Amino acid sequence: MNSIVEKRKQNWVDFYDITSPVNRLLVVDYTKDFPQRPPLWWKMQKKREEWAYQRYMMQLENMEKLNDNTVPYLSMITGTEIFAEAFGCKVHKPDNNTPFALPLISDVSEWYKIKVPKYEDTNLVKLFEMADHLKARAGKDALLSLPDIQTPVDVAALIWEKSDFYASMFDEEPAVKELSCMIKEFMFSFLDEWFRRYGKEHIAHYPEYYMPYGITVSEDEIGIVSSDMYKEYFREELHEFAMHYGAIGIHCCATADHQWDNLKEVPNLKVLNFVRSEEDTRKAVEYFGDTVAQYHTTMVDISDLPDAERIHLANYVYTDTFESALEIADKFNRPLV
């Protein structure tokens, strides 16, 4: 099985090289028979570990039969709340959804409530505990996924009540930038330790793709701001993440077409993912063309686009039967005649 895993890893590495002939990958999402994920609450730590391990073992079993590019991994899935919680936000824990942070401050007058923690003094240490336990059980070569990594401004918009936060981008610029910088440095301390312990290669939080090194982030708040505000508040930190870790993959589930020019300028950008309609996904695929690899969760036919073969596009397909998964993979891998 190690040889299969290594081949799939190499496929992703080649896919990110925009000059490589490896320009199409397939990921078949078949998880119907997988164990049900427990709530993502810290008190569920042991159940989360067991779920991640059993899921990993089923991925390994499927890998021998299903010829796609899924790389098995130990899931460290979290909600978006983890860094905001570390800064003091309370967390709402719905029974049927992921946890989310409640704002710590409502306006700049409450700035005194914000304190920069050490990650060792927060619940983030439980992620290290979980990862240590899972690696000890599954073996040192088992890959981990990253927890949900929101960018610093996105985290700041959780800590600071959002409507006032965006108004403060105009009225309280120094405070907004200071908070973002504090979060960035805190995240670097956590992530540097994570990669020191577990190595640089990982699986992205969403969608689940392999990265040999670098960082994978969610950048959603850029959808609500102008291009000028992106350059004022988002560009520098996004570029810093890309430079600090040597490569970056970006997920965005917002409508952010007006930021596409800005995203093209991110250094060391390896892969983009947008959650869009079929029509809008096709526009994105054409817009970014052969400038960066793309992995969208909406499958589109681009065979009629000019220079389609130069576009690097990974295809995601969900199916609820294993027979269908086998058929999809077989069709994808069948040589053209």
* Residue 204 pLDDT: 98
- Is the peptide bond preceding residue 207 cis, with omega within 30 degrees of 0? yes
pTM exceeds 0.85, yes or no: yes
CB atoms inside a 10 Å sphere around CB 112: 7
Whether the predicted pLDDT of 337 surpasses 50 = no
Q: What are 101's strand-pairing partners?
A: 91
For residue range 225-267, list pLDDT tens digits in order.
999 999 999 999 999 999 999 999 999 999 999 999 999 999 9
Q: How far is CA 55 from CA 35, 50, 221, in A?
A: 7, 8, 31
**Residue pair 143/208 in contact by the 8 Å Cβ criterion:** no
Phi-psi region of 20 (alpha: psi -120 to 50; beta: other; left: phi over 0): beta
Burial of 214 (0-12, 13-18, 19+ CB in 10 A): buried
For residue range 262-298, list pLDDT tens digits in order.
999 999 999 999 998 999 999 999 999 989 999 998 9
Over range 133-137, report the average pLDDT.
Answer: 98
Residue 19's contacts (CB-CB under 8 Å, 6 or more residues apart) are none
Q: How far is CA 86 from CA 17, 81, 158, 190, in A?
A: 37, 9, 12, 11
Whether the predicted pLDDT of 336 surpasses 50 = no
Whether the predicted pLDDT of 330 surpasses 80 = yes
* Residue 31 pLDDT: 80
For residue range 139-172, list pLDDT tens digits in order.
999 999 999 999 999 999 999 999 999 999 999 9
* Residue 320 pLDDT: 86
Could you tell me which of 114, 154, 246, 268 has the C-alpha nearest to residue 192?
A: 246
CB atoms inside a 10 Å sphere around CB 195: 17
Q: How far is CA 77 from CA 30, 58, 110, 147, 300, in A?
A: 18, 17, 31, 5, 27
For residue range 71-124, list pLDDT tens digits in order.
999 999 999 999 999 999 999 998 888 999 999 999 999 999 999 999 999 999
* Residue 335 pLDDT: 60
For residue range 22-77, list pLDDT tens digits in order.
999 999 998 878 899 999 999 999 999 999 999 999 999 999 899 999 999 999 99
Q: Which domains, and CATH codes, for the chain?
A: 2-333 (3.20.20.210)
